[in-house]
Structure 1
Amino acid sequence: MAAEHQRAYARFRHEPIAREGFAFELAASFAGPFGVSRMRHTGRFRAWVEPPETLIVMEVLGGGLWIADRDRDVAARVMLAPHWSPHSAGWDTVDLRMTTLDLDEVARVGAEISGLEPSGVTFGTMTPRSAALARYWTDLVDHVDRALLAHDELMELPLMHAEAMRQLVAGVLAVFPNSTLDHHREPDHEAVEPATVRRAVEFMDAHAHEDVSLTQVAEAARMGPRGLQAAFRRHREQSPLDYLRRVRMERAHHDLQVGDPTRGDTVGGIAARWGFANAGRFAVDYRRAYGHSPSDTLRR
């Protein structure tokens, strides 16, 4: 049964598992294209694994895990499962947290951030870029797991669901070596009509309550994501997604102004409605924009 559960993450063949002293526990929370699971497995386990169809980040919370990819044998507390090649893996006893992300989503967001084509967003190294970034990943997953995935009502909000996904994808792209970190955008000298920016602004204004990607905004503006980024930098000195975040902050400000705590309106609920997953960061950004806390606005 333990092996069958693990095949949900990747296809593999394994050595026989001894029954003596064996114990297995699995708890998982999934929200569409991403999820976080916790697995405890005692006893020797050795497997030969096909490249997984999802991106999997593994955190060793207890025991030990090793992965052999080509001619490398890696044992670390935070590791990326090699989705680019077959590999072998094993442990004697392990307490493992696994975060899974849809590879197409990782490629899409990586392309939007870097200007690469989605097919050009690639990884090739299992370990984080630094110990500090490994700790950042652990803290990020703690937040997403406890503050978001553990609350069904939050995950039912499209903007919160999308924000959680984007946080994890941005984290993976920051923590593990990948092609987006080496890609330097070339300046775009092509003239862009202001109407292109206006079309993008109109689209974001109309769809701020929805899960909107840079690719969708660029399609509405009738140009590519890279050109749209350059157009916004030239005409507004910000990125399109910075503008979208500002619009959502303004909508949250309005909802706080008309909200009524006696009817159950809360700062956290209004922030979540507009896709702000981290209440503390929302409060800091809100105070910077409006000069007082969101709770002060709600109480007025």
Structure 2
Amino acid sequence: MRVERMAMSTRDADEATHVIEKMYVGHRSRFTARQSPPELALTSATAGPLRVDRLRNSFRFVSDGDPFHYVCAQQLLRGEMTLRTGREEVRQRPGDGFLHLLGADSHATLADFDVAVLCLPLARVAAAAAVHTDIDACDLRFESPTPVSPALRRYWTHVLAYVHRTLMDRDTQVLPPLVAEQVADTAATALLAVFPNTTMTTHHSAPTSPLPPAALRRAVSFMEDHAGDPITVSDIAAAAGITPRALQQGFARHHDTTPMAYLRQTRLERAHRDLQAADPTTGATVAAIAGRWGFAKAGNFATVYRRAYGRPPSRTLRT
């Protein structure tokens, strides 16, 4: 999957307003300090449904924004912001996280800031929510704009930094589809864990009656046939004719693991086969094979591989 990147900067206040509106939502902004020419700099990277931005400016302005219809969350890295979304107003300090509540107008007072932003469609976050709860997509709502706890604020810092590093890396022009899917899933899962939402209070159903063996066989067959595709738990459940929650329960009961852990093991086995078949003299590398099968970092892949096969992947490639 190709990573689309863009970068721009401007000292024109009207252009800065237009850029923010184009990238996010419609808004009415007014600049309140013009002692020096305002400057806004934006870098952005998109891979499939996931987008990350780094927004820096050296001016002060007040903005009234239209409602967001996708999930947009951020972390303030420098400066200060006062943000109001829905009925909640929050004063942001460096290190603080914030999520714009969907469907709610917003108001912001911003001054000389540097902020990291992450955007995902609500449907992608809802799919992640369905994996662990019985919540319908239409019932998923974020209810507060700030992290649940200081510990989860720190977790958000780490996840956001990881996603930004992955997509903003200039040496990465293409992300393997499996890696892109895993990064998006990591982002969606973090959003659900960090910011208060209806999955935190919804009913978690008790284990249901045992799934028919045929349903589990369909799930396993689908994973084996599509191990090289960026499939999700929802995709696997649909192929098996069951709900994502039922799939999770079935794998826990019959395989003592999760569907995604089972899929990762399948992909590790495929990577092992590719290493055995590859010829390093033709340019084949451990990193390329690992990435093809969804292992973004060669070092992490080497650790998992050695644990499973008792030797480093580089040795398998050379023999």
Cα-Cα RMSD: 2.1
Q: Deviations over 1:77-109 (max 9, x none)?
A: 221122242121111211111111111111111
List gaps (5 residues or longer) in structure 1: none
* Aligned mate of 1:67, from 67, 83, 90: 83
For the 8 Å contact 2:132–2:244, the answer to whether it is kept is: no
List gaps (5 residues or longer) in structure 2: 1-14
* Aligned mate of 1:263, from 282, 290, 294: 282
1:35 is displaced (CA, Å) by 1.2
The answer for the alignment partner of 2:17 in structure 1 is: 3
- Superposition pairs for residues 215-230 of structure 1, below 5 Å? 215-230=234-249
1:122 is displaced (CA, Å) by 2.0
Task: Report the Cα distance in structure 2 between the residues aligned to 1:296 and 1:174, rounded to whole angstroms.
Answer: 39
Task: Report the Cα distance in structure 2 between the residues aligned to 1:61 and 1:188, rounded to whole angstroms.
Answer: 43
Task: Report the Cα distance in structure 2 between the residues aligned to 1:69 and 1:38, rounded to whole angstroms.
Answer: 21
- Shift in alpha-carbon separation, 1:240–1:264, aligned structure 2, 3 A: same
Are 1:176 and 2:183 matched, yes or no?
no
- Shift in alpha-carbon separation, 1:148–1:290, aligned structure 2, 3 A: farther
Q: Deviations over 1:44-87 (max 9, x none)?
A: 21111122122111221111111123443212322112224212
- Shift in alpha-carbon separation, 1:184–1:269, aligned structure 2, 3 A: farther
**Percent identity among equivalent residues?**
36
1:117 is displaced (CA, Å) by 1.6
For the 8 Å contact 2:133–2:205, the answer to whether it is kept is: no
1:226 is displaced (CA, Å) by 2.2
Task: Report the Cα distance in structure 1 between the residues aligned to 2:243 and 2:87, rounded to whole angstroms.
Answer: 40
- Secondary structure of the residue aligned to 1:75 is strand
Are 1:207 and 2:226 matched, yes or no?
yes
The answer for the alignment partner of 1:96 in structure 2 is: 115
For the 8 Å contact 2:130–2:245, the answer to whether it is kept is: no
- Bigger drift between 289-298 and 2-11 goes to 289-298
Task: Report the Cα distance in structure 1 between the residues aligned to 2:154 and 2:87, rounded to whole angstroms.
Answer: 27
Amino acid at match of 1:62: R
- Secondary structure of the residue aligned to 1:287 is helix
- Shift in alpha-carbon separation, 1:29–1:23, aligned structure 2, 3 A: same
For the 8 Å contact 2:224–2:266, the answer to whether it is kept is: yes
For the 8 Å contact 1:163–1:276, the answer to whether it is kept is: no
* Aligned mate of 1:41, from 40, 57, 79: 57
Task: Report the Cα distance in structure 2 between the residues aligned to 1:23 and 1:130, rounded to whole angstroms.
Answer: 34
* Aligned mate of 2:158, from 139, 142, 145: 139
- Bigger drift between 44-53 and 172-181 goes to 172-181
1:247 is displaced (CA, Å) by 0.6
1:238 is displaced (CA, Å) by 1.8
Task: Report the Cα distance in structure 1 between the residues aligned to 2:198 and 2:314, rounded to whole angstroms.
Answer: 42
For the 8 Å contact 2:286–2:317, the answer to whether it is kept is: yes
Task: Report the Cα distance in structure 1 between the residues aligned to 2:87 and 2:112, rounded to whole angstroms.
Answer: 24
The answer for the alignment partner of 1:297 in structure 2 is: 316
* Aligned mate of 1:154, from 161, 169, 174: 174
The answer for the alignment partner of 2:29 in structure 1 is: 14
* Aligned mate of 1:58, from 74, 77, 83: 74
Task: Report the Cα distance in structure 1 between the residues aligned to 2:153 and 2:225, rounded to whole angstroms.
Answer: 38
- Bigger drift between 175-184 and 87-96 goes to 175-184
State the number of aligned residues. Answer: 299
- Bigger drift between 42-51 and 17-26 goes to 17-26
For the 8 Å contact 1:154–1:272, the answer to whether it is kept is: no
- Shift in alpha-carbon separation, 1:296–1:138, aligned structure 2, 3 A: farther
1:296 is displaced (CA, Å) by 3.1
The answer for the alignment partner of 1:106 in structure 2 is: 125
The answer for the alignment partner of 1:32 in structure 2 is: 48
For the 8 Å contact 1:164–1:277, the answer to whether it is kept is: no
Please, what TM-score do these two structures have when normalized by structure 2? 0.86
